[in-house]
Amino acid sequence: MASVELDSEFMRMQLADLSIVLTNERQAYSHPWTEGTFRDCIKGDYETWLVVFHGRNIGHGILSAAAGEAHLLNVCIAPQYQGHGHGRRLVLFMLQRAKLRGARSVFLEVRPSNLPAYKLYEKVGFNEIGVRKDYYPAFSGREDALVLAMELASSHD
């Protein structure tokens, strides 16, 4: 895997970013989020971030945090930029944002069929804790979700 150059950065997602966010989302996922879902996250109390590489928005992350917990809701890197460490950097950045919001635990769901994402989450420290039956829409029926969790070290550790 090639390493990411240092000129990628994270910027807060704005409503004006939605056209490229939706393009990346639709290229990366068979069942992408809707524009309305992204709008609600941007307007709500969510961590909504873009990955910008060479001045181009190549991905995004969405995180909710409350009551000492965080939920990583969406991690997306445009397909042509996958496999170069951008996703790992985004997940690590989102974990930092969770800590800043006071989270001690972070949860996420991932499709069992999305092995690259599952392996990434495992490498950064997530553990499988359960299954949500028929969680995701699929081309034929529904697909289960694997529920992963990670404990964040507190600043007192």
* 3 state SS for the chain: CCCCCCCEEEEECCHHHHHHHHHHHHHHCCCCCCHHHHHHHHHCCEEEEEEEECCEEEEEEEEEEECCEEEEEEEEECHHHCCCCHHHHHHHHHHHHHHHCCCCEEEEEECCCCHHHHHHHHHHCCEEEEEEEEEEECCCCEEEEEEEEEECCCCCC
The pLDDT assigned to 154 comes to: 63
Render pLDDT for 71-95 as a digit per residue (tens, 0 to 9). Answer: 999 999 999 999 999 999 999 999 9
Residue 110 lies in a domain: yes
Residue 126 lies in a domain: yes
Render pLDDT for 43-68 as a digit per residue (tens, 0 to 9). Answer: 999 999 999 999 999 999 999 999 99
Residue 156 lies in a domain: no
CA atoms within 13 A on the CB side of 114: 22
Residue 1 lies in a domain: no
The boundaries of the domain holding residue 43 are: 8-151
Render pLDDT for 137-157 as a digit per residue (tens, 0 to 9). Answer: 777 888 889 999 999 976 554
The CATH code of the domain that includes 132 is 3.40.630.30
When pLDDT is cut at 50, 70 and 90, the band that residue 2 belongs to is very low
Mean pLDDT of the region 103-114 = 94
Nearest to 108 by CA among 82, 71, 81: 71
Residue 120 lies in a domain: yes
The pLDDT assigned to 3 comes to: 47
Global pTM? 0.90
Residue 157 lies in a domain: no
As a whole number of angstroms, the distance between CA 76 and CA 94 comes to 12
As a whole number of angstroms, the distance between CA 42 and CA 44 comes to 6
Residue 70 lies in a domain: yes
Residues with catalytic function = 109, 121
Structurally, the chain folds into a number of domains equal to: 1
